[in-house]
Copies of this chain bind each other. A is one copy, B any other.
Amino acid sequence: MKNFEENIKTAHIICIGDELLIGQVVNTNATFLAHTLNLYGIFVEKIIAVPDDAQAISQAVADSFAHTNIIFTIGGLGPTKDDITKKVLCDYFQTVLVESGEVKQHVQTLYANRPCLLNHLTESQWLVPKDAKIFKNRVGSAPIMLFEKNGKQLFAFPGVPYEMKVAVNEQIIPFLQQQHNNKIIHKTLILHGVGESVLAEKIATWEDALPINIRLAYLPDNGVLRLRLSGYDTSEEAIDEKINTLYPLIEPYYIGEGETKTIEQILGDLLKANHQTIATAESCTGGKLASLLNKWSGSSAFYMGSVIAYDNSVKRDVLGVDETILQTKGAVSEETAKAMALGVRQLLHTDFAIATTGVAGPTGGTPTKPVGTVWISWATPTEVVAKEFRFGNERETITDRACKQAIVQMITLLKN
Q: B47, A297: Cβ atoms under 8 Å?
A: no
Is A386's CB within 8 Å of the partner chain B?
Answer: no
**Within the assembled complex, what's the spacing in Å between the Cα atoms of A24 and B228?**
12
**Within the assembled complex, what's the spacing in Å between the Cα atoms of A28 and B23?**
9
Q: Which residues of chain B come closer than 8 Å to A300, judged between CB atoms?
A: 310-311
Q: B310, A305: Cβ atoms under 8 Å?
A: yes
**Within the assembled complex, what's the spacing in Å between the Cα atoms of A139 and B162?**
37
Q: Which residues of chain B come closer than 8 Å to A280, judged between CB atoms?
A: 308
Is A318's CB within 8 Å of the partner chain B?
Answer: yes
Stretch at the interface among A30-38, A124-132, A204-212, A238-246: A30-38
Is A355's CB within 8 Å of the partner chain B?
Answer: no
Of the four ranges (under 10, 10 to 19, 20 to 34, 35 or more), the interface on chain A belongs to 35 or more
Within 8 A of B (CB), among A284-314: 285-291, 293-295, 297-300, 303-311, 313-314
Q: A290, B318: Cβ atoms under 8 Å?
A: no
**Within the assembled complex, what's the spacing in Å between the Cα atoms of A45 and B59?**
13
> Taking each of A50, A51, A294, A362, which has the highest tally of chain B beta carbons within 10 Å of its own beta carbon?
A294
Is A20's CB within 8 Å of the partner chain B?
Answer: yes
Q: A35-B22, A291-B291, A314-B305 are in contact. Are A50 and B44 (CB under 8 A)?
A: no
* Apart from A295-B396, A307-B307: 12 A-B pairs, beta carbons within 8 A: A22-B34, A22-B35, A48-B49, A286-B291, A287-B291, A287-B306, A297-B360, A297-B363, A304-B311, A305-B308, A306-B307, A318-B318
- Write 11 A-B pairs (CB below 8 A) sorted by A numbering: A22-B34, A22-B217, A23-B33, A24-B35, A27-B30, A139-B393, A286-B294, A297-B363, A307-B307, A307-B308, A314-B348
